[in-house]
Amino acid sequence: MPRDRDVTYATYVCDVKPLKSETHRVRITVGGDRLSCADDTGSPAANMLETKILVNSTISDAKHGARFLSADIVSYFLASPMHRKEYMKVKASHIPHDIKIRYNVDDLTTKDGYVYVEIVKGMYGLKNAAILAYDNLKKNLEKFGYYPVQGTVGVWAHRTRRTRFCVCVDDFGVKYFTKADANHLLEAIGSSYKYTVDWKGEHYCGLTLNWQYDQNYVEVSMPDYVTRALKRLAHTPSVFPQFSPHQHVPIRYSVKGDRQYATAPDDSPLLSPKDKRHLQSIIGTLLYYGRALDYTILPALNDIAREQATPTVNTMKRAKRVLDYVATYPHTTLRFHASSMILCVDSDAAYLVAPRAKSRIAGFYFLSTDPRKNQPSPSNGGVLVECRTLRHVVASAAEAEVAGIFHNAQVTISVRRILHALGHVQPPTPIKTDNSTANGFIHNNIHQKRSKSWDMRYYWLRDKNSQKQMKFFWEKGVNNLADYFTKHHPTKHHRTTRQKYVLDKNPTYLQKSFLANHAHILYKNLHHACQNLSS
């Protein structure tokens, strides 16, 4: 082993992958944190947005013969060519006896009980394992005419065929039009890798896809995700259903300015390091679920995540309320209908709704059939929801609205690139706002006085409007789908509005076992109340 090189350790990972052909796995991985790597180790991989757009694209082109399949490369990170060798030591006592005999391990064991290994090809745990595997995949597929589309992170195309697919690490989500096109891609993959294929395309990136090609829609769900998450997080849901993910702050009409939404300082005790890590696990688990399916929990997570650096007991209570909320709606589903794949955006902002004079912005992105109406189908799902707190302090509600439009318009550029890569040419993207001052600023038809502070940053919106890349227009707030994600609404509003964004199949609070338990508790409380009255 060269004297100037680092040596790292080996560790063992055991996991269960129910959707893989080899479900129960044991892997030896490299301790990559002990190895230096001068090159950029980032690797392109499709995200949730690209996956949802590809799913929408497939169901929208189903009438032209489009279908969806998923494929998975076996041992994707292994055996990738490396630019230089790495070194690792394995404790000899951890090696099974039959392996020791087959490879004469005892002769290779050092006095301190380790076996030194020279790594010449890709292994799990290497810092550059992902980019090595990606470069190898790119080189192998280029020989068959496949290439990654510039301007996206995970969309691939073919030079002559209509096949489009997303690559998320080693998982392929493929939109194809003929069996010959699908077989051509699978042959390209099989020339260098072993793989498994799901011709029905029911599973991809942790999502379960229920394709209804004859009815022109597809349903996206994550069965048992909530149940498994609650079990892993050791959370017992409340016996009473929780219909709102956060506490509602009633409007006080006599109070002006930031005092309206200001909350009292949180003087509850800080969480212990163990409880802090548990809270961060809750946030990470729910954030993935919220971005994938249940958009309605994003405003609550936005508030909780802001306090995760120094969380308190009250922070944990709010997190457990969100857990009770998802336990009430454990079978959330998104339904995407066939459309003309025209991107539409609803933008909104709420002024001074967060601590320290901060405002919240939101954007609801969906694919529509008729861009003139700028409304989705009643049960159509959004491909993306943005829910963020503005980092800077704005001086007015109009400035907050313009900041929200500015953010959503910038995100729109990347979404348009993905749609173009999938063959869906976009007209000027309609972006809806419910603030007339913000709309007037963008169209340059108001006299500016106190708004001079936000000219330089937001003039970009006027440029996009004049270039006809986007079309900004005003609409009533009641018709703005992004309004839900900017404020903390009362429970009644959550129950009446939720079906605009997601479908709920067999909610917990409607199940017979829950109703029976719930009725038993009500009867018991009523019985105690009658006894007290009689006494």
pLDDT digits (tens, 9 = 90+) for 53-70: 999 999 999 999 999 999
Distance CA 227, CA 480 (A): 32
Structural contact between residues 331 and 504, judged by C-beta atoms closer than 8 angstroms: yes
Least confident of 248-262, 287-301, 419-433: 248-262
pLDDT at 22: 78
Distances (CA, A) of 464 to 365, 405, 472: 18, 12, 10
Among 367, 342, 234, 360, residue whose Cα is nearest residue 303? 360
Q: Please give the order of strands across the beta sheet that includes 470-474.
A: 384-389, 358-368, 342-354, 429-433, 470-474
Q: Please tell me whether residue 381 adopts helix, strand or coil conformation.
A: coil
Could you read off the pLDDT of 364-404 as tens digits, one per residue?
A: 999 988 665 545 444 578 999 999 998 888 888 888 999 99
Whole-number Cα distances in Å, 110 to 296, 317, 320, 469: 58, 53, 51, 67
CA gap 486, 298 in Å, rounded: 10
Quick one: pLDDT at residue 16? 83
Question: Is a pLDDT exceeding 70 seen at residue 267?
Answer: yes
Q: Is the pLDDT of residue 36 over 70?
A: yes
Mean pLDDT on 200-206: 92
Identify the residue whose tokens are 């529509």: 368
Sign of the torsion angle spanned by Cα atoms 496, 497, 503, 506: negative
Determine the average pLDDT of the residues in 173-189.
96
Find where tokens 């969480």 sit.
Answer: 271
The sheet with strand 7-16 has its strands ordered as 24-30, 7-16, 81-91, 114-121
Amino acid of residue 525: N
Report the pLDDT averaged over residues 90-107: 91
Cα(120)–Cα(114) distance, integer angstroms: 19
| Confidence grade of residue 84 (pLDDT, cut at 50, 70, 90) | confident
pLDDT for 374 = 47
